[in-house]
Amino acid sequence: MSDARGRRATARGPLAGITVPCLGAPGTVDLAAALAGRPALLNVWASWCTPCREEIPVLNAYAELPDAVPVVGIDVRDDATSALGLLADLDTRYPSVVDTRGTLWAALQVPNAIPASYVLRPDGSIRRVASPMVFTDPGEVARTVQRYLAEP
């Protein structure tokens, strides 16, 4: 990813250097490097989590909006087959990774209750979304992301 001057953006922040497997696809990804210089919405979820199941379609609808920032799911403490089955059942199109070693969990300081959402800012800093705990409307997601990106 390059910045406005054509320079390659450098991965910074608490996610820098953490590599995790892609869910349902071969390979691994360094999220900080892949998203360097761009905002994103990170969502920690699991297939066994009822509020997660309710929120994923809302996040998917948000991700399809023309001005949405990229949405990346982070599947935690889960069975890959169940996770993939849920995403297929919900026709989810945004990408997810699997935090098999708990490295993203630790870096994000995820609370014990999920789902948990985080706004990744272009400078690599991350802000946990405190409210709402569970998104219920794509417009709510858009407003929340913009609010967290605008904060100093």
DSSP letters spanning 45-110: E-TT-HHHHHHHHHHHHHHTSTTPPPEEEEE-SS-HHHHHHHHHHTT--S-EEE-TTSHHHHHHT-
pTM of the model: 0.92
Question: Cis omega before residue 26 (within 30°)?
Answer: no
Give the pLDDT band (50/70/90) at residue 152. Answer: confident
Number of Cβ within a 10 Å radius of residue 45: 25
Helices 50-63, 80-89: axis angle to 10 degrees equals 50
| Residue tagged 């014990």 (tokens) | 112
Encode pLDDT of 31-74 as tens digits: 999 999 999 999 999 999 999 999 999 999 999 999 999 999 99
Sheet containing strand 96-98, strands side by side = 96-98, 71-75, 40-45, 116-120, 126-128
- Distances from the Cα of 44 to the Cαs of 7, 16, 49, 59, 108, in angstroms? 31, 18, 10, 12, 10
Encode pLDDT of 1-16 as tens digits: 334 444 456 667 899 9
d(CA 32, CA 67): 21
Contact 88, 24 (CB under 8 A): no
Contact 104, 38 (CB under 8 A): no
**Which SS3 state, helix, strand or coil, does residue 142 take?**
helix
pLDDT at residue 106 greater than cutoff 90: yes
Q: What is the mean pLDDT of the chain?
A: 92
